[in-house]
Structures are given as C-alpha cells and as structure tokens.
Amino acid sequence: MHILGKDGQLMSSEKITIDGKEIPVFQVRSTTIIKNKKTGVIYKDEAEWKGLGIDPKDVQVDVKIQAPSLDLLAKTK
C-alpha cells in the first residue's frame, strides 16, 4: 500500500530489510513489447512468435517500467 507523506511524497507501507536497513517496496506497472527486428511486426506474447518459428535473434523485447517519482536528492545522516 502506498501513502502520501507530510511533504506530499509517495511512500510505501511495505518494507524489506537489507543489511539491517529498512527499504520501502513499491508496486510498479510494466509493459512488455515483443517486436520482430527485421519486419517491425509486434507480437502479443512469446507463444505467438515461437509458434510462427521466428528466430530468437530476430526478436526484440522492450520492457517499460512505470514507477513513482523518487526523491533522489534526499539528505543523509
């Protein structure tokens, strides 16, 4: 679950611990586009191009991740 902090920044109520530090976990949306490099044809899924016998070297997979903006200039101790 995501919540807004006092400053209006998006925060996450879910956290994991890495090296003793709590790190927020964000759910993001992703979009995958599978396209033939030579012809430009876009396939709906992996099964479609494999079923057509397309050479894997001719397949391009693009993944777009849509994440909330993060404060990368946060002050550290």
DSSP state string for 45-72: SHHHHHHTT--GGGEEEEEEEE-----T
User: Model pTM greater than 0.75?
Assistant: no
In a domain, 76, yes or no: no
In a domain, 58, yes or no: yes
In a domain, 61, yes or no: yes
Structural domain boundaries, residue 9: 2-66
What are the average pLDDT values for consecutive 10-residue runs of the chain, which has 77 residues?
48 79 83 94 94 95 84 67
Q: What local confidence, expressed as pLDDT, does residue 45 receive?
A: 92
In a domain, 71, yes or no: no
Q: What local confidence, expressed as pLDDT, does residue 58 receive?
A: 95
Q: What local confidence, expressed as pLDDT, does residue 61 receive?
A: 95
